Homo-oligomer: A and B are copies of this chain.
C-alpha cells in the first residue's frame, strides 16, 4: 500500500465509503466540546504528566535505559501504555494548537522512551531486562503487544500532525513494530496478546508508512484469535475474545475494552484487505451489541467481576460498569464502521457515547476521572483520596488517578483528536456527523477548496446553521446527520424552503455560493425513553433524554436528604426544559419497612403513599458528581 495523505486524523482507511477530515481541516471553535478540549489542554495533560512522574511510570523507561530495573520498577504491567497514550494526546494537542510548552514536554518524554528501546527494537519496561521475566513469557496478561500498540498510535498521531518532526518517535515505533513482525510473523511465535490493541495500531502504522508488513501482521493477529491460544479462566475465555474466531462471532462479548479494540482492528484489516466477509461479521456483532448490550448512555459492560459485557439484556443500572475506556473503544469501533459503511447509526452511537460516557469521565476541572460510569449510585460514598491512586475502579466519586489508570489518558487523547470525528468526505461532497461550532475546510483532490462554518448552541439548542463560505462551480452534496432520536420534527431549511427530514443523512446537492446557508433544526423537547421489555433490570422505569443527552436525578438537587429511590415519575406530565436542566413531576413512595421484603397475597405490589406531585429537576448525566458525594439515578420508576 502507499502511505496515506497526511490528514491529521487517527484513522485513515485507504478505502471505504467515507474519508475522514482531520483536525487540520476541522476546527472546533466554541461550545460544549471546545470547553472540554480547553480543560483537557490546560488542566488534564499537566495533571497526567504529574501523576505519570509521581507514580514512576515514565521513570521506568529511565531505569531500563540505565540498565537497572527489576524491583525498582513501579506500576502495573501495562503502565508503559499510559505514557504512550499521553504522548498520543500531546501529539494531537500539538497538532491542534501548536503549544510550544507541550512540544518540549513531548520531546522530553519521547527521548526517555527511546532510551529504553533495546537494540533489536523490543521496547517494554516490565519484561526482558535485569531480573525481569523473559520477553513474551506471559502473553495472556503481560500486555507487551498492547503497549506497543499504544506506542504505534502515538507515532501515528505524531506522523500525521508533525510529519517532518525530528523527535524520533516514528523511528522508535517502526523498530518496535519490526521487532513484533519478526517475532510474531508466520514463522515466529504463534501467539497473540491477551489485550487486543496491537491490531488496529499495526494497520494504522501500515497506513502511515505504506509498509504492508504491518498490515499482514495485524491480519495474522486477528485471525489467530478465537482458537483458545490463551488460557481459560473463571469467567471464560471470551474475556479475551479467544473462544470464537472474529469471523464467526455474532456479538461483542467478554472484556468490553478488549472487545471493542479487537473489533476496531478487524474493521481496519477488513478495509485494507478488502474483506467484505470480515467487515460484515463485525457489523453484525456491532448491531447486536447496540441492540442488546448497550446502556442508554452508550456505555458498555455490565459486569464488575471481569469488566465485561453481560449476556443480552443484562444491563443493570446500579452495577453498570460502563468503563470509560470501553466508551472510547466503542467510539473507535463505530467511527471505523462509519467510514467503511456510511450509515448514520454509527455516528449516532458515537454522539451518544461522547456526550454521556467520554464527557462524563472527567470532572469539570479535568483533574479527576470516573473509571466506571454507573447509571445508579445508591450510596453517596466518599471522596477518593486526593493524594494517592485509587484502588477502586468503581469509585463513588471521580478519582485523580487509579492504580489501573487507563481512563485519564484515553479521555485525553480522544478529546485532543475530537475534531477528526466530526466530518468526512466522499466523491459526492461533505458529510457532517457531529455538530460543533466551528469551521471545515477541505480541498478535494480534483476540485476547489470547500469552506464551511457551523454555528450552533447544540446540544442545548437544536438549531444547526451551516454556511458555505466559498464559491464553487461544480455541484456537491452537503450531508447532515439527523440523529436517530430525532424521529419526529426535524427539519432542514435551505434558503426559504423548510422540509421535514428523517433520521439518517439529510442531503442538499447544489452548486454552492458563498453565503449559502442550510439550517438543520432538531426537536429538543425533553422526552421519556422506555426500555425494551427484555431489559429486566429497568422494567417499569423511564429515562429522560433531551437531544443527545441523557439526564439523571442527583440527590443534591432534592430537599431533605434527597431520597431519590422513592421517586415515581408521572408519565402524564411531559418533561419540560429549564435551562440546562429538565423538570419532571414525581410522586414520592415511602414504603413501610417490613421484616421480610416479599409480600404474599394477590393484592399487587405495595402502593405508594400518594402525595401531591413534586417537581424534580434533572441534570445532564455527564454533569453528575461534581458537587460532592451524592446518590444518582438515570432510570426512574414510573408511578
- Complex contact B599–A530 (CB within 8 A): yes
A528 to B234, CA, bound (A): 36
Which of B345, B391, B533 is close to A591, meaning CB atoms less than 8 Å apart? Answer: B533
A599 to B294, CA, bound (A): 14
A5 to B193, CA, bound (A): 63
Known contacts A393-B234, A545-B600, A290 near B378 by CB under 8 Å: no
User: A537 contacts the other chain (Cβ, under 8 Å)?
Assistant: yes
- Complex contact B605–A530 (CB within 8 A): yes
Residues in B with CB closer than 8 Å to A31 are none
A531 to B594, CA, bound (A): 11
State the Cβ distance, A140 to closest chain B Cβ, in Å.
14
State the Cβ distance, A129 to closest chain B Cβ, in Å.
27
- Complex contact B589–A602 (CB within 8 A): no
Q: Which of A36-44, A219-227, A311-319, A447-455 lies on the face that meets chain B?
A: A311-319
State the Cβ distance, A620 to closest chain B Cβ, in Å.
17
User: A108 contacts the other chain (Cβ, under 8 Å)?
Assistant: no
Residues in B with CB closer than 8 Å to A348 are 596
Residues in B with CB closer than 8 Å to A164 are none
- The closest CB in chain B to the CB of A311 belongs to B378
Residues in B with CB closer than 8 Å to A581 are none
Chain A, 510-541, contact with B by CB distance < 8 Å: what is the 0/1 string?
00000000000000000111111111111111
Known contacts A290-B595, A291-B595, A487 near B600 by CB under 8 Å: yes
Known contacts A290-B595, A291-B596, A292-B597, A312 near B533 by CB under 8 Å: no
Residues in B with CB closer than 8 Å to A393 are 234
State the Cβ distance, A596 to closest chain B Cβ, in Å.
6
Residues in B with CB closer than 8 Å to A541 are 536, 539
Chain A, 290-325, contact with B by CB distance < 8 Å: what is the 0/1 string?
111010100000011100001111101111000000
Chain A, 563-605, contact with B by CB distance < 8 Å: what is the 0/1 string?
0010000010010000000000000010101111111111111
Which of B537, B591, B602 is close to A537, meaning CB atoms less than 8 Å apart? Answer: B537
Known contacts A530-B605, A595-B290, A536 near B392 by CB under 8 Å: no
Which of B287, B314, B533 is close to A589, meaning CB atoms less than 8 Å apart? Answer: B533
Which of B311, B379, B533 is close to A379, meaning CB atoms less than 8 Å apart? Answer: B311
Chain A, 607-622, contact with B by CB distance < 8 Å: what is the 0/1 string?
0100000000000000
Residues in B with CB closer than 8 Å to A314 are 318-319, 378
Chain A, 337-348, contact with B by CB distance < 8 Å: what is the 0/1 string?
000000001001
- Complex contact A637–B311 (CB within 8 A): no
A318 to B538, CA, bound (A): 13
Q: Which of A204-255 contact B (CB under 8 A)?
A: 232-236
State the Cβ distance, A461 to closest chain B Cβ, in Å.
19
User: A45 contacts the other chain (Cβ, under 8 Å)?
Assistant: no
Residues in B with CB closer than 8 Å to A376 are 536
- The closest CB in chain B to the CB of A574 belongs to B602
User: A543 contacts the other chain (Cβ, under 8 Å)?
Assistant: yes
- The closest CB in chain B to the CB of A532 belongs to B597
- Complex contact B595–A345 (CB within 8 A): yes
Residues in B with CB closer than 8 Å to A594 are 291, 532
A80 to B484, CA, bound (A): 59
- Complex contact A536–B534 (CB within 8 A): no
State the Cβ distance, A363 to closest chain B Cβ, in Å.
21
User: A505 contacts the other chain (Cβ, under 8 Å)?
Assistant: no
> How many copies, total?
2
State the Cβ distance, A333 to closest chain B Cβ, in Å.
16
- Tell me the count of chain A residues lying within 8 A, CB to CB, of chain B: 72
Interface centre among A348, A536, A574 (most CB of B within 10 A): A536
A232 to B596, CA, bound (A): 33
Residues in B with CB closer than 8 Å to A66 are none
State the Cβ distance, A633 to closest chain B Cβ, in Å.
9
A235 to B487, CA, bound (A): 42
Residues in B with CB closer than 8 Å to A538 are 536
State the Cβ distance, A533 to closest chain B Cβ, in Å.
5
State the Cβ distance, A601 to closest chain B Cβ, in Å.
7
- Complex contact B596–A484 (CB within 8 A): yes
Which of B528, B533, B598 is close to A606, meaning CB atoms less than 8 Å apart? Answer: B533
A307 to B316, CA, bound (A): 17
Known contacts A234-B392, A532-B606, A565-B534, A539 near B637 by CB under 8 Å: yes
- Complex contact B236–A537 (CB within 8 A): no
- Complex contact B597–A528 (CB within 8 A): no
User: A485 contacts the other chain (Cβ, under 8 Å)?
Assistant: yes
Interface centre among A232, A296, A305 (most CB of B within 10 A): A305
- Complex contact A529–B599 (CB within 8 A): yes
State the Cβ distance, A420 to closest chain B Cβ, in Å.
25
A596 to B351, CA, bound (A): 14
State the Cβ distance, A237 to closest chain B Cβ, in Å.
11
Residues in B with CB closer than 8 Å to A565 are 313, 534, 536
Residues in B with CB closer than 8 Å to A294 are 597
Residues in B with CB closer than 8 Å to A599 are 529-530, 532
- Complex contact B595–A287 (CB within 8 A): yes
- Complex contact B601–A291 (CB within 8 A): no
- The closest CB in chain B to the CB of A296 belongs to B598
A39 to B595, CA, bound (A): 35
A345 to B594, CA, bound (A): 12
20 contacts between A and B (CB under 8 A): A232-B391, A234-B392, A291-B594, A291-B597, A304-B304, A310-B319, A314-B378, A319-B319, A527-B602, A532-B597, A532-B599, A533-B591, A534-B591, A534-B597, A536-B565, A537-B537, A539-B539, A539-B541, A539-B637, A540-B540
Q: Which residues of A pack against B, CB within 8 Å?
A: 232-236, 287, 290-292, 294, 296, 303-305, 310-314, 316-319, 345, 348, 376, 378-379, 391-393, 484-485, 487, 527-541, 543, 545, 565, 571, 574, 589, 591, 593-606, 608, 637
**Which 3 pairs show the lowest CB-CB distances between chains A and B?**
A532-B597, A305-B305, A529-B598
Excluding A291-B597, A304-B305, A533-B606, 5 further A-B contacts by CB distance (< 8 Å) are A287-B595, A290-B596, A533-B637, A537-B537, A539-B637
